[in-house]
Structure 1
Amino acid sequence: MRIERLSQDKIRIFLTFDDLSERGIQKEDMWQEVPKVHDLFTEMMDQAYTELGFDATGPLAVEVFALPAQGMVVIVTRGKYDHHYGASGEEELPDEIYEMEVTLEQADSIVYAFRDFEVVIEAAHVLVNSITSAGKLYSYNDKYYLYFDPKEFEEQPLASLVAVLAEFGDSSPVTEAVLDEYGKTVMAENAVQQICTFFKRQE
């Protein structure tokens, strides 16, 4: 489980399928109100408070994105207005302190964000040995995004692809449609091969 702060009132949690299976949760369970999922959410909020000081009291908007072959991305946004629950001195907050509005989406693409183009070059040079004709490269919100359609891969190469991307970049719930409409298309096809052709990795 990896947690990062996106803003003062928003965090992103990345759950692998191993994280889910260790807790006896199937991917399909995330679409249901089951005690194990509630326990998982409580654990996530406890970890967010411990690591980031993110206080999850009051109303929360929770977006869950299921990513193929990767796991889940959970975006938690805290309500920006004062709530009638006051600050509690107790170490453990009651379960009902979480007022969640949950949105669930099934992502049908693999998108990873990179803060620096040099990192994209590094990732491409690792990928090019196994991927020669796939990928789109976008620029959006001061980041670079590599997009892949999982239908173009067999299961094992797909897992290897995700492993490399996760090492260099951050899994992103941004869709291809958003990137097409609001981002800039840098390379419309065969991005991995093109990057390696035109850019050498740093020594």
Structure 2
Amino acid sequence: MKIERLGNDKIRIFLTFDDLSERGIQKEDMWHEIPKVHDLFTEMMDQAYSEVGFDATGPLAVEVFALPAQGMVVIVTRGKYDHHHHGGPSPYEDEMSEEVYEMEVTLEQSDTILYSFDDFEILIEAAHVLQHMLADAGRLYKYNRKWVLHLEPEELEEGKQAAIIAVLAEFGEATSVTPAMLEEYGDVIMADNAIGVICSHFKRQD
């Protein structure tokens, strides 16, 4: 579990699939009201307080993004939710009423694949390995001093997603950044066909 402060009233939490499985939670469970999911939210808020001083008392807006290769991105914003103006209470509120949290939970699923690379030379290596599977795919960003490769599901050949993710995981690291954050805060280096462009302009190291 990785926690990052985005502002005075906002944090981002990155949960890997290992984080979920260690707690007996499947990705699909995040869409259901079950005690272990509530326990996970409580644990996240406790850790957020101890690590970055985020006080989760009062109303919270919680956005959960499921990413296919990376895990879950949870964005928590404090003070943005008032159920009196949202047509009724959150489905999570009743079970959590004994605690300090009131949550308005939004769940979204994305098939976008995002991997970051510390070194451009490593990205070149990965691109050459991927070239036969992803000749005309990829959008490349520079974000937080890292190179981030963005792949959409329609760019992937059917049945090859697992192999592509295995290569990406070997050379890069799953990132918790969302496509919207890349568009807003990142720099677009290659708008499309990043794999092909990299391979045509940069050779692998001997």
**Which residue is 2:86 aligned to?**
none
**Which residue is 1:71 aligned to?**
71
155, 180, 194: which one aligns with 1:191: 194
Change (3 A) 1:121 1:17: same
- Describe the SS at the equivalent of 1:24: coil
The aligned length equals: 182
Runs of 5+ consecutive residues of structure 1 not aligned to the other structure? 82-93
C-alpha distance in 2 between matches for 1:183 and 1:4: 17
1:171 matched to 2:176: yes
C-alpha distance in 2 between matches for 1:95 and 1:159: 43
Change (3 A) 1:149 1:111: same
TM-fit CA distance, 1:78: 1.0
Asked whether the 8 Å contact 1:65–1:106 carries over to 2, the reply is: yes
Amino acid at match of 1:156: A
Change (3 A) 1:171 1:80: closer
TM-score (norm 1): 0.73
Q: RMSD of the TM alignment (CA)?
A: 3.4
Asked whether the 8 Å contact 2:61–2:80 carries over to 1, the reply is: no
TM-score (norm 2): 0.72
C-alpha distance in 1 between matches for 2:69 and 2:142: 24
1:28 matched to 2:28: yes
Asked whether the 8 Å contact 1:137–1:186 carries over to 2, the reply is: yes
TM-fit CA distance, 1:163: 5.2
C-alpha distance in 2 between matches for 1:140 and 1:124: 14
Amino acid at match of 1:165: G
**Percent of paired sites with the same residue:** 62
TM-fit CA distance, 1:150: 4.1
